[in-house]
Amino acid sequence: MNHPLDEHTWHRMTEEILAGMREWRQAHPKATLREIEDELDTRWARVRARMLEDMALASAAANWAATAEGQQPTCPDCGQPLRLRGTDTRTLQTHGGQSLNLARSYGTCPACGTGLFPPR
Ligand SMILES: [Zn+2]
C-alpha cells in the first residue's frame, strides 16, 4: 500500500480558500476582525487536517505491509515477528475540530496470540 503525498489536492484546497474568502468577504463587508479570523481558521483547518492525514499515512510506520522482512514489528511479550492481519481505521480530532481518518496496520503474534498495532 503506497500513499504518496497528494500535493495537488493541497493546492486545490488552498485555492478554494483564497477564492472562498474573497467571496465571503464581499458577502460580509461588515464582518469584525474576530469573525474574519474565525472564518479563516475554519477553512484552513480543513487543509491542515488533509495535509496531516496525508503525511501521517505516508509515514513508514503506517505502511507495515511494505516493511522489509526482518524489520517488521515484534511481539512485546515474546519477541516473535508479528503477523500482519489487516488495517484498521481510527478517527482522530485535530486542533480546529476536523476529523482525521488514519488507516494503520495491525497484527497478531503467531506464538502467543497477542494482537496489537505497532507503535508509530
Ligand atoms: Zn508473542
Q: Is 48 inside any structural domain?
A: yes
How many domains does the structure of the chain reveal? Answer: 1
What is the pTM assigned to this prediction?
0.61
Q: Ligand 1 mean position to 98 CA, how many Å?
A: 37
Q: Ligand 1 mean position to 61 CA, how many Å?
A: 20
Q: Is 80 inside any structural domain?
A: yes
**Do the strands 99-108 and 83-93 form a parallel or antiparallel pair, or are they unpaired?**
antiparallel
Q: Is 2 inside any structural domain?
A: no
Higher pLDDT, 62 or 83: 83
| pLDDT in the model for residue 117 | 67
Q: Ligand 1 mean position to 117 CA, how many Å?
A: 13
Q: Ligand 1 mean position to 70 CA, how many Å?
A: 16
CB within 8 A of 59, min separation 6: which ones? 120
| pLDDT in the model for residue 120 | 44
Q: Half-sphere exposure (CA, 13 Å, Cβ side) for 22?
A: 5
Tell me which residue range forms the domain holding 51: 7-116
Higher pLDDT, 51 or 65: 51
Q: Ligand 1 mean position to 110 CA, how many Å?
A: 7
